[in-house]
Each structure stands twice: as structure tokens, then as C-alpha cells.
Amino acid sequence: MATISTYLRNFKEPSKDQLTQLFFAIPETPPTIGKADKDEEPERMEISAVLTLSQDASEDPYPGKLYLLPPYLSFASLDRKSVRFTIPLCTIRRVERLNARAGIYALSLSLWHGMKIVVQLTSLRPTADLFCALLRDALKAELQRGQMKAVKGFVKTCYSEMLVSNTEEGKDAAAHKAEADVADPDSIYLGGLGLKFKYPGDPKKLREASKTKLWTTYLKTHGRNLTLLRYPQCTRLVQVGLPNRLRGEMWETLSGSAYLRFSNPGLFERILKENEGRTSTSTEEIEKDLHRSLPEYSAYQSEDGIGALRRVLQAYSFRNPETGYCQAMNILAAAILIYTSEEQAFWLLEVVCDRLLPGYYSPSMHGTLLDQRVFESLVHRCLPVIHDHFTQVDVQLSVASLPWFLSLFINSMPMVFAFRIIDCFFCMGPKVLFQVALAILKINGEKLLQIQDDGGFIHLMREYFSSLGESAHPKSQDPRARAITRFQELLLVSFREFSVITDDTILNERRKFRSEIVTSIESFSKRSAIRNLKTLERFTKDQAGLIYDALFKAVCIEPPPVAPLPPVALLTTKDGTEERPETRIELKTFKVFLSEVCAWARAEKIVSNGFQQRVDREVAEHELIDRLFFFWDTSFRGALSFQDLVSGLNGVMFNDLMENIEWFFNLHDKNKDGYLTKDEVLTLSESLLFIFRYEIGDAYLGAVSRFMSNAFEYGDALLPRPESSDGDGDIPHIESNQPYMNLATFRMVVLADEILESFFETDFSGTFRLEPVPMMEIPNSNQGLLGGLWHNLVSDDNRKIFQKVTDEIGKTIGKHQVLYRPAIGKFTTLEEPKARESLLTPTMRRSASKASLDASESTPDVSTPPTVPTLSTSSSHLTVDQPGPASAISPSEFSPMPSMFQAAANAAALMERTPFAIDDAKDDDEESDDGSELADDGVMDEVDAFLEAHDSGLTEAERELAKDLINAEPVK
């Protein structure tokens, strides 16, 4: 099996616009009404602004940037983290220009949920005017699309609406309502399996009621779901853990998957419906794992949970056939489904797999490998002592850390804690995983310096994770300090000490190591492709490697169409052996491949223009190449696999004279009846002419023309004659598509000519050559401005331009010269062709027709001495301007693992996963809510612990002004 993916090479760094879009979690292609008005794409614009929240005087004004990204409006404060929002334009109910002090340009926006925000545009007047005009247009467009109505339906599905409306009806009723609500059939807010099967963890310990209260207050003043404004308090509340019922919705809002659900209503159901009953490799793999996903959680012991999980994973795999399904996604989806509906989980999964953890779950898992490399580099930078120790004892970080990243800690620590990390992950992005992972190492630093091998490392981590619920300072005098759990300590260290790790850090590091990872993945796939060949035939492994390289290059240049993987069942052959999906190339790609390994399948122009000499290589087109493609397609699939190519080349590269003649004969014997028809003889001659097209001199041309005349002469002579007719009768008539010439005759005709004989003896096989393929460089994005400029200059296109220019100059100064390099290159001088005397015996000649006698007259002088063959120039001389052959990366040898006796290691092994605390599950409402002061509850303490000084960066006067605006009158 060999699946060749060039996806990794085609990767492009996101543009600045795309990065902005990613930052604000805006869905990739904003759904436009029709493709027709695509050219009328709404304009984007960004502008400096100061944001003030009208109703809540406790929130400072924040300067930052306002982005119009139709159909969304976004804002980020200067530090890009304190305050931000992304709101669909259709949730803006009213925009007013404020009548404030002279020279101040401010807008007041009324949002769906009743909040009012004021944005003071601090750019120059014309810029601000332009922004307003664009905003007006964009709002109008949304109005026309009727999106406002969609908002109404969408917010109904959100639990936050219920929370807020309950408190508005009076505090006393709230508790009652919440309880009644579960059974209330009118309530349509979405929830997860937890609603029915309980949530993991003890709600009292989780302080659910207090958290819910804090959130209710926040959501009332700062908007919710589609209109959530994120102020520092929001992040802090997330860091102390989301309340269970609100969790799913907040994940969706914070990660931005809500925008996907909002803009693609009904898509999830539609995908399932359209693919009903369809099976694929992915669906079979999913089926295997359904009962193996959080099996301790009771929902996954019943059809409720299993069915939901199946639908979410299948829908994802149908929508993203290239990623399909990867183990770990089942655990992730199962965890998410405890808190969200299927549709919400589906979109969350998409955001995780596509945007937050790109490439983690892809078939090559390159994202996972890349981030492990990034993590290692961050450890090297932030915790050099630990890094050095690990290097010294040869312990690989990723043996422990890979599952942390891949399953978001769900598999590594008790679930209640993993969910808290996931809260932060959805709120603050993938950097959280790195921050937490670094903090884990830092906290365990002392002990890590004692470990001696991979096993010790894993043991230590497992012990640590199972102790996360314990006090971090059990011996402290201060009861407050004693109350801090190890988990709280972990988060504090993560966000305080590793706040230096930002999104940009991660992006930069990923850029740095990308090509390294791509190279190692590619060389791994190459090795396994070679290993998995059914037969190497007569090639060595290294030679097979060269064939693979040529194939890989061809696939890069001319990608085969992506076929969705067929279901496993279809691949099963009668004898029960199963084939795996593998890359097969079609004719188009095959031509490129063949041009790499076969001299006559390419046109090589040697161009000299006085400045440089170079070889321009082009893929040749000829029926012969098509013929070869179908000749090698022995299983009649219309596409060739790596194995087909290896076997095909094997059939032609090791042949001696007789085998070559036979091979060539068979290639042209289309119906494989052992005879060529007259048409096929002609085609064969054309094939020869094609192969000889760039040879110097007339020798080959002559050989082919002699071949043709001899072929028809002998062919006719050997035709069976009707018994009745006399020896000198007419040649029997034969249709051009009837069997005409067998192998023996063909062989005789070929051997009649010295040039053809020597061609089939050695030259033909020699036109096939396996050479290191000058590989295209992996686009390395790790360049500064200068590097980038240089890279642009040496891009293929520019190289072509450069060459064109030099060619033109060369022409004008008369130095431009183009030569086609011959495929064989035996004759370097224009020597006269020569041929042996006809092999026809005198008796045969006598019986031959007149026509053949004519032909024999044209046989040239036999006395011409044979030409001394000149060896072809080695191709390497001429490849002056090509990048050097990419030498295969020699695998760095793994050195033996040191294994010291561990005193601490005991024989009893632990389970690999800390069992999770579902047995503690109790109902939320158990916790008494009466009069428990929030401060005493400790939640606020914890919130305070995360309090970071957030200086908005405004002067006192500016702050005054911003506050003033709240009371300003709209312009009439």
C-alpha cells in the first residue's frame, strides 16, 4: 500500500487577512446569497477605535481596532486579549452617530440583546466616514438577506437565554424554573447527554450554583451567544471553570463554532440524510470505536450515547473525507457530547480539527508531529535544565506529551480537570495546551531531573495527574493556601508563568519546524511504500526509492484526482485478502513520471544563450506513451499503482536483445494474439521514429525505413498462400487489421538491421534510467523579509522569466542556440547509415514478390564500415541550473535507550488512564443556594487569583471622554 500525499508540500502560510479571520473565528467563506454577485464582495475595513460599554460603568473604555468583516463586526483591544468580540452584523439593531464634542467621531450600536456599545473612531475624518459608509452598506445587505429573522430562531436554542430570562422574572422564581425546565417540553435550548445522564463531578465541589450566578450577571450586561462581548471578567470566569449546563454553549460561542452553526442551519442533518447507509473505511473504523469511547460514562452504555456519537463522527467524516476518522476524535466527540447537542458537537469538532488543531487528525498526523516538535523547542527555551536532562538520558518528551495534545488531556487526567483545560482552550486557543504542558513539567521539575528513562517519565506523570485533586500545599498554616488544589496551582502556573507563550509564538515555531517534519513524514511514507511492495522485482531497495521519487515528483506536478476511499468491503477480494487504499496515477500523471525515468518520454532542449547553458525539460506526448500506460495497467483499472510502475519498469530495464524485441512486439500487439496487424506494424514504426526523433544524423531514420520495407517484404512473403494458387501468384489480400506478423518474423526483420539490433541490444534499455530526482524544495516559510524576497526571485516563475530574458538577449547577440538532447545519442556525427545484407535466403527471395525485389534494390551499400558508437554524454553535465539532487535524508540513528534500575518503580503497573469521577455525579440543584455569599464561596477568590493587571492604556482625559460619550445625544 502506498498513499502518496503532496498536501504537506502545497501548504501555504495564511495571509494577513486570513490570520485576522482566524483570530476572530470567522467562518472561512461567509455565505453569500448567490455565486453570481461574487464580484460584489462586501468590502472589509479596519479602523482604530475606543470601545465603551454603555450600561456597565464598571468596565473601562478600551482602545483597539474595529474590523468590518462582513457579515461580521469584530473588535480587539490593543493587547489583543483583554477585550474582544465578533458579532454578526444582523445582531446590530441600530447604529447612531453621536453628537459629542467637536472633532470627536463616535457611533453608538444597539445590539440584539439590548446592550449598547459606543465606538469612538479615532482615525482621521475621511477614514471614519468611509468606515461608516461601508458599515451602512454591509448592514443593508444583511437586512436584505433577512438574516435578522435567523437570529431569533438561533438564540432560542441557547441555554443562556433561559438563564437570563429567569432572573429577570424575579430571583425567587429562578431556582424553581431551572428545575422545572428540564421537563418542560416548550424549552428548546440545546443540551448534551449530561442533561439526562448527569454531568461528571460533584456539583457542590464544582460550586455550580455560584458560577452560574456569576455568569448570569455577566451575560446580562455583556451580551451572550451571538453577541457576547468578552471583557477580562469573561476570561477569568472561564478560567475557574464553566458551569455544566452553560458549558456547551460557551464552548460554542468562545470557539466560534456557533457562527458555523448559525450560518449553516440544517447542514448537519442534511449530511447525515444524504449519506444514509453509506459505508467507508472511516465508518468502519468509527464502528470499531463507538463502544470504546468513555465506556464508563453511562450514556455510552446505551443507544442514546452510542447513536449520538456515531452520527457526529460519521457526519464529520462524510464532510471531510480526507481526514475521515482518527482515533482520539472518538474520545473528544464523546466528551463534547456530554455538554452539547449533536449538531453543536459536529461544528465544535470541525473547529477543533480544522482551525484549532490543524492537521492533528489527518492521515499523516503532521499537525500532531509538528506541535510535538514545537513543544520540545519551547521546553528547550523555557525549561532548559529539564530539556538538557531529557537529552542526556535520551527520553523523548512526546512519549508522554503526545496524548495530552491529541486528546486534550481527556485521556490523561480525571475528566473534571480535563474539562477545565478544554474551557480555557476554547476561550484562549491552542496556546493553552502548550502553556499547561509546560507548567506540568515546571511543577514536576525536581522529580523530572531524577528520571532516567521513558518509563520513569510516564510513571511520574501518571502519578501527578492522579493527585491533581489534592492540596498543593498540604502543610501550610494558612487554610486558604491549603485549600488550593494541585489543579488550581497548575492553571496558575500555566497562565502566569507561561503567558509569554502567545498565538504568535506558536505560529512562528510551527513555521520554523514545518519543513523538517514534512521531510521526515515523506521519507517515512517512502520507506513504508517500498517495504509494502508485493515484489521489488529485480530492483534494489535504493532503486525502488528512485522510482518512488520520480512518482512523487509526478504526483506533485500533476496531482491525481482525489477519489474518496471506497468502503473496505469493496476492497476485499474473494480469497479474503484485503487491499488497502493506495495512490494510483492516471495517464496525465504517468506522462510526467515517465519523463523522469525515460529519455524519449521527454524533450530536453539544451539552450545556450551566451549567459548560461541549461536544459529545459518538457513532458513528451505520443501514442507510444499512452500505449505503455495501458500495457502496464495489468489489472485494467485505468490507473497505475507504485507496484505497477515497479513491475512495468522491471519488464523493460533488465532485458537482453531477444527480450527487448519481444517486449516491444508485445507492447504493440494490442489484442495479445501473438500477431501484429499491418496497422500495428505501422504504429510500431511510428513508435521507433518517435524514440529516434532527436537523434543526430539520418542513421535511425534510414533504419526505420528499411525496417518498414523489410517488414512488409517478409511479412508478405511469409503469408500462408491458398493451396490452389501457384508459387508466383498474387500476394493474398489481407486486411490492415488482421493478424499479419508473428514474433519470429518481427525478430528476423529487426536483426536484419545492425542499427536496430544494437538499439534493442543495449540502447533501448539504456533510455530508461533511475537517477536521483532533482526534487522541488519544500517551501520553507521560515524566512524574514529578505529571505522572502529572495525566495520570490528564485521561484520557478521568475526563473522562467529570467531565462526568457537571457534567451532574448542571446538571440539578439546571436548566441542563442537550442539543441534537443537525443534519447540515445549514439551518433554524434552525421554518418551514413549502414545495414546488413538482407537476411532473405536466395530461395525466399525467389519466391518473393516483385515488390519486395524493388525494396531490396534500395538496400544501401553493404561495404560501409560500421560506425564506432560514441557514448552518450552523461546527463549530469548538463543539468547546470537545476538544484542539486535532494539527497535522501539519512535517518539519524537512534541510540540505545539507557535503562537504569529504578528504585521507585514497583512491579504493579497502573492503569493508563485515571478513572474519572462520574460516580460522584449528583444533580446540580442539590447545592443549597440560600444566602451563600459569593466571597465566602471562594469562587471569587479563585477569580481574583487570575486577575491580571489590565491597563487599558488610556489617559485619564481619554477615559473621561469615553465615559462622556455614553450620555451623548444622537445626531439629529
Partner 1 sequence: MSFPNPAASVKLVLLGEAAVGKSSLVLRFVLNDFQENKEPTIGAAFLTQKCTIGERTIKYEIWDTAGQERFASLAPMYYRNAQAALVVYDITKPASFIKARHWVKELHEQASKDITIALVGNKYDLVENDNDDNEESLRKVSIEEGQGLADEEGLLFFETSAKTAHNVNDVFIGIGSKIPDTSASSSSNNASNGPNHEGGRIDLSSGNSSSQPSDSVH
Per-residue contact flags (x/-) with partner 1 for residues 643 to 662, judged by CB under 8 A: ----------x---------
Listed residue (633, 690, 702) closest to 861, CA to CA = 702
Asked whether position 769 contacts partner 1 by CB under 8 A, the answer is: yes
Identity of residue 171: K
Closer CB to partner 1, 81 or 913, in the complex:
913
At 151, which helix (H) or strand (E)?
Answer: helix 147-156
Asked whether position 564 contacts partner 1 by CB under 8 A, the answer is: no
Asked whether position 524 contacts partner 1 by CB under 8 A, the answer is: yes
Closer CB to partner 1, 52 or 283, in the complex:
283
> Considering Cα of 516, then 521, then 524, then 526, what sign does the dihedral take?
negative
Asked whether position 523 contacts partner 1 by CB under 8 A, the answer is: yes
Q: By CB under 8 A, how many residues form the interface with partner 1?
A: 95
Beta bridge partners of 110: 94, 116
> Burial code of 282-310, b = ≥16 C-beta within 10 A, e = fewer?
bbebbeebbeebbeebbbbeeeebbebbb
Asked whether position 520 contacts partner 1 by CB under 8 A, the answer is: yes
Query: Site for partner 1 (CB under 8 A): which residue of 9, 93, 381, 527?
Result: 527
Task: Give the nearest distance from C-beta 604 to partner 1 in angstroms.
Answer: 16
The verdict on whether omega for the bond into residue 71 sits within 30 degrees of 0, i.e. cis, is yes
Pairing of strands 106-111, 92-99: antiparallel
Please report how the helices 657-668 and 743-751 are oriented relative to each other, as an axis angle in degrees rounded to 10. 120
Q: Which of residues 169-188 bind partner 1 (CB under 8 A)?
A: none
Task: Give the nearest distance from C-beta 335 to partner 1 in angstroms.
Answer: 12
Task: Give the nearest distance from C-beta 799 to partner 1 in angstroms.
Answer: 24
Asked whether position 289 contacts partner 1 by CB under 8 A, the answer is: yes
> Burial code of 741-770, b = ≥16 C-beta within 10 A, e = fewer?
bbbebbbbbbbbbbbbbbbbbebbbbbbeb
Per-residue contact flags (x/-) with partner 1 for residues 246 to 285, judged by CB under 8 A: ---------------------------------------x
Identity of residue 695: E
Q: Which three cell numbers stand for residue 400?
A: 508522554
Contact criterion met (CB below 8 Å) for 75 and 121: no
Closer CB to partner 1, 169 or 912, in the complex:
912
> Considering Cα of 196, then 197, then 200, then 204, what sign does the dihedral take?
positive
Query: Site for partner 1 (CB under 8 A): which residue of 72, 513, 642, 665?
Result: 513
Q: Which of residues 94-123 bind partner 1 (CB under 8 A)?
A: none
How many helices (H) and strands (E) in the chain?
44, 16
Stretch that binds partner 1, among 340-348, 417-425, 900-908, 959-967 (CB under 8 A): 900-908
Asked whether position 892 contacts partner 1 by CB under 8 A, the answer is: yes
Query: Site for partner 1 (CB under 8 A): which residue of 349, 913, 914, 921?
Result: 913
Closer CB to partner 1, 540 or 829, in the complex:
540
Query: Site for partner 1 (CB under 8 A): which residue of 577, 841, 843, 955?
Result: 577
Closer CB to partner 1, 524 or 790, in the complex:
524
Closer CB to partner 1, 159 or 375, in the complex:
375
Q: Which of residues 327-366 bind partner 1 (CB under 8 A)?
A: 327-328, 330-331, 362-365
Asked whether position 558 contacts partner 1 by CB under 8 A, the answer is: no
Closer CB to partner 1, 786 or 903, in the complex:
903
Asked whether position 893 contacts partner 1 by CB under 8 A, the answer is: yes
Backbone dihedral region of 852: left (phi > 0), alpha (psi from -120 to 50 degrees) or beta?
Answer: alpha
Asked whether position 871 contacts partner 1 by CB under 8 A, the answer is: no
Task: Give the nearest distance from C-beta 632 to partner 1 in angstroms.
Answer: 18
Q: Which of residues 383-442 bind partner 1 (CB under 8 A)?
A: 391-394, 396-399, 402-403, 406-407, 411
What stretches of 189-267 adopt beta strand conformation (E)? Answer: 229-230
Q: What share of the chain is helix, strand, coil (3-state, %, to 5)?
A: 50, 10, 40
Asked whether position 766 contacts partner 1 by CB under 8 A, the answer is: yes
Query: Site for partner 1 (CB under 8 A): which residue of 528, 736, 795, 812?
Result: 528
Task: Give the nearest distance from C-beta 828 to partner 1 in angstroms.
Answer: 19
Q: What are phi and psi of 255, to 5 degrees?
A: -80, -15
If you search the block for the grid coordinates 525539460, which residue do you land on? 617
Q: Would you mind telling me the total number of residues written for the chain in this entry?
A: 972
If you search the block for the grid coordinates 529485480, which residue do you land on? 538
